[in-house]
Amino acid sequence: MKDILRLEEAAMLGVSIYALNNANAEWWWYILLVLGPDISMLGYVGGNKAGAAFYNLFHHKGIAIIVFVIGCLLPDLLMQMIGIVLFGHSSMDRLFGYGLKTNQGFKYTHLGIIGKK
């Protein structure tokens, strides 16, 4: 089952890369796709609860979709691109086994404990 879910996440990441390419995104948008949302880890400076909340805000696919839809409704290409980056990054993280965080600490996710097979 985990392999099927990873394939699904890989497909969603692929769609995000396609969407950026289709929007004629500059090269640095792809760097944001890979690294940008991880700045939210700085929330852990405020403790596990604050860190999890801040991290999850930037890694929740529902929020990414809302940002994208708002960008479509306005219309605002920047908001659309940010939504695509958030969505693609979340898919990439889940592909590698990193999920939404719990209040227990960074390594505890909705997919299980990071690094534990």
Reported as a pLDDT band with limits 50, 70 and 90, residue 117 is: low
Per-residue pLDDT, 1: 74
At CA 77, angle to CA 69 and CA 41, rounded to 5?
Answer: 75
Range of the domain at 72: 2-113
Mean pLDDT in the chain?
Answer: 95
Overall domain count for the chain: 1
Q: Answer whether 8's CB lies under 8 Å from 2's CB.
A: no
Higher pLDDT, 74 or 114: 74
Look up residue 109 and give its DSSP letter.
Answer: E
| Stated pTM of the model | 0.94
